[in-house]
Amino acid sequence: MNRCALVTGSSRGIGKATAVALAQKGFNVVVNCVKNTDMGKAVADELCGYGVRAGFFCADVSDAQAVGKLYEYAHKNFGFVDTVVNNAGISRYALFQDEDESSFDKVMGVNLRGVFNVTKAFLPDMISNKFGRIINISSMWGLCGASCEVLYSASKAAVIGLGKALSKELGPSGITVNAVAPGVIKTDMLNSVGADTIRELVEATPLGRVGIPSDVASVVTFLASKESGFVTGEVINCSGGFVM
């Protein structure tokens, strides 16, 4: 039987690249997003071309009820989802003094509460089966912080803390919990970053280039594999050696 993975926020960018990479490794995949539904459905159709089963479900990961329906869909159509990739996230670029409770709730709702909601929904099956892979997409800014991205940095740091703690709790159940911290990756999140800033970030990257989504997806597929079974509670920095 094929293993099965849920990849949140997988209509484009790192999420889509991860869904494709997992399908190429023989995983059935549940594709998810909340806005780009046509793109999400197209990704699911594309994955079927790799000889696996794939389906799409629209759900806002910050909404626990919506995530409950996502779980019901996945369980009914795919059975045991043994791998969860918490990729859905939003960025925000603003001075700290311009932030308010609304922006705080929005960023934390998707980036942190979303990880909580999805993990909470799919975890019982992993515990019952004594096997599972939980992979959270954080950010290098969650490790070192970024000016004018305080809320984003805080949310991604919290995801790291959640995963490290949860890995200790779930180890006896045969479930690993790890995080990937991407650096500067060519996705839509870069659209709001000026060319001069990107140039400076590339200059601070020893490999001398912007990353691409498949760079991150390759790390995720390793963490999803059985070969990674003795790796848990870790944060893999996929940033081209960015100097922090």
- Bridge partners of 86, per DSSP, are 136
Q: Which residues pair with 50 in a beta bridge?
A: none
- For residues 4 and 40, give the distance between their C-alpha atoms in angstroms, rounded to a whole number: 17
Q: Residue 232, Cα to own-chain centre: how many angstroms?
A: 16
Catalytic site includes residue 152? yes
Residue 45 zone, left/alpha/beta (φ > 0; ψ -120 to 50; rest) = alpha
Whole-angstrom CA distances from 181 to 45, 96, 138, 159, 191 are: 28, 23, 5, 10, 19
Catalytically annotated residue among 50, 71, 73, 152: 152
Q: Which residues are catalytic?
A: 152
